Amino acid sequence: MSTLRHEVLAIYKDLLYLGRRYPLGYPYFRTRCHAAFARNSALTDDAEIRRGIERAAYVKREIEALYSLTKYRAMKQRYG
Amino acid sequence: MTSLRILVPIKRAIDYAVRPRVNAAQTAVETAGVRHSMNPFDEISVEEAVLLREKHSPKTVEDIVAVSIGPPKTVEALRTAMAIGCDRSVHVEIPEKADMLEPLQAAKILKQVVDREKPNLIIMGKQSIDDDFSQTGQMLAGLLGWGQAYGASEISVDGDTLTVKREVEGGTDVVKGKLPMVVMADLRLNTPRFATLPNIMKAKKKKIDKLKLEDFKERAENRLKTLKVAEPPTRQGGGKVENVDGLISKLKELGAL
């Protein structure tokens, strides 16, 4: 139980850190991210919590991809 | 099998997403209170150094050192580099308000860092996105008398030879060279990984050697004087015409007919 709790907290922190440079602004990201975690706060089943963590990890990968793609596109436009 | 000792010179520049503004005195771009990050091309070169370590046996790449010349806040960029995977770093500190160093100055200082750290491969970004000189790498290679490969899009190491694919106009150029070498990374060399929060925290434990500008004997002076920095003129909006007659009269008015 407690290890899962730490996993959830860790991924939440990671997401918040990533959200600092979100294109629509940090407040936009933070409220939505917080709401998404709050929605699932009542989960008690281990398997379900794990699914939630996986989903968060997926979102994290997507955001990282979004950032590197925007950066790549900006650089490509400027320097070819 | 020679082991690689990689030096990665990096620069902290204004973030790519920030729209640069000219300062009130029209002498430079405003840097105070503007978000900075590591120069994107340098991120690519850091990533490449780490990839070389991951691709080959751990013994092949002995040491990856990041080096940066800049004001005190440059430490952040060095931390990011170490979070991606550099082992340690060297920070050559210049005062906060000092002018940016020109390529020859930077190259001369980097040469002395090379004498100190004794790397046999230097991977650096081809240019920084703030002043866009794109000269430091070439000058450094020239000062050291090493081989160089500009605009690398693929690097492979075999013993002490290095094969680099370069992006040139209308195709690729393959160069082969013996270590030591200077390689300047282009945009398509790799996709840099993200420096995660835990890794940045871990990077705080890695060592940063502090050096002062005065520690370097060989120096060059800045030779360029900035006369004026101005924004490009704003684009004048177009006008709409009602019909064909309106278009013809407009064209006549502008002298196109």
Q: What is the pLDDT of residue B169?
A: 86
Per residue in B241-256, pLDDT (tens digit) is 888 988 998 888 888 7
Per residue in B176-210, pLDDT (tens digit) is 999 899 999 999 999 999 888 889 999 999 999 99
Distance from C-alpha of B166 to C-alpha of B152, rounded to nearest angstrom? 4
Q: Residue A21 — very low, low, confident or very high, per pLDDT cuts 50/70/90?
A: confident
Nearest to B197 among A14, A75, A78 (CB): A14
Per residue in B66-110, pLDDT (tens digit) is 999 999 999 999 999 999 999 999 999 998 877 778 899 999 999
Q: What is the pLDDT of residue B213?
A: 86
Contact B17 A74 (CB under 8 A): yes
Q: Residue A1 — very low, low, confident or very high, per pLDDT cuts 50/70/90?
A: low
For residue B111, is pLDDT > 90?
Answer: yes
Question: Could you give the percent of chain B with pLDDT greater than 70?
Answer: 100
Distance from C-alpha of B198 to C-alpha of B207, rounded to nearest angstrom? 17
- Whether A43 and chain B come into contact, CB under 8 Å, resolves to no
Question: How does DSSP assign chain B, residue by residue?
Answer: -PPEEEEEEE-EEE-TTS---B-TTSSSB--TT--EEE-HHHHHHHHHHHHHHHHS-TTTEEEEEEEEEESTTHHHHHHHHHHHT-SEEEEEE--TTSPPPPHHHHHHHHHHHHHHH--SEEEEES--TTT----HHHHHHHHHT-EEEEEEEEEEEETTEEEEEEEETTEEEEEEEESSEEEEE-TTS--PPP--HHHHHHHTTS-EEEEEGGG-SS------------PPPPPPPP---SSHHHHHHHHHHTT--
Whether A16 contacts A30, CB under 8 Å? yes
Q: Residue B152 — very low, low, confident or very high, per pLDDT cuts 50/70/90?
A: very high
Helix (H, G, I), strand (E, B), or coil: what is residue A25?
A: coil
Contact A14 B17 (CB under 8 A): no
Contact A14 B196 (CB under 8 A): yes
CATH number of the domain encompassing residue B125 = 3.40.50.620
- Whether A62 and chain B come into contact, CB under 8 Å, resolves to no
Tokens of B144: 């050291």
* Choice between B250 and A35, residue whose per-residue pLDDT is larger: A35
Indicate the number of domains in chain B: 1
Cβ-based contacts of A67 with chain B (< 8 Å): 194
Distance from C-alpha of B181 to C-alpha of B147, rounded to nearest angstrom? 5
Name which of B41, B193, B197 to mutate to probe chain A: the one with the most chain A Cβ atoms within 10 A of its Cβ.
B197
Q: What is the CA radius of gyration of chain A?
A: 15
Mean pLDDT score of chain B: 90
Q: B150 CA to chain A: closest CA distance, Å?
A: 14
For residue B222, is pLDDT > 70?
Answer: yes
Nearest to B192 among A68, A74, A79 (CB): A68
Complex ipTM > 0.90? no
Q: Residue B145 — very low, low, confident or very high, per pLDDT cuts 50/70/90?
A: very high
* Distances, alpha carbon A56 to alpha carbons A24, A37, A49, A50, in Å: 19, 9, 11, 10
Domain extent for B95:
4-253
CB neighbours of residue A7 within 10 Å: 16
Q: What is the pLDDT of residue A23?
A: 87
| β-strand partners of A10 | none
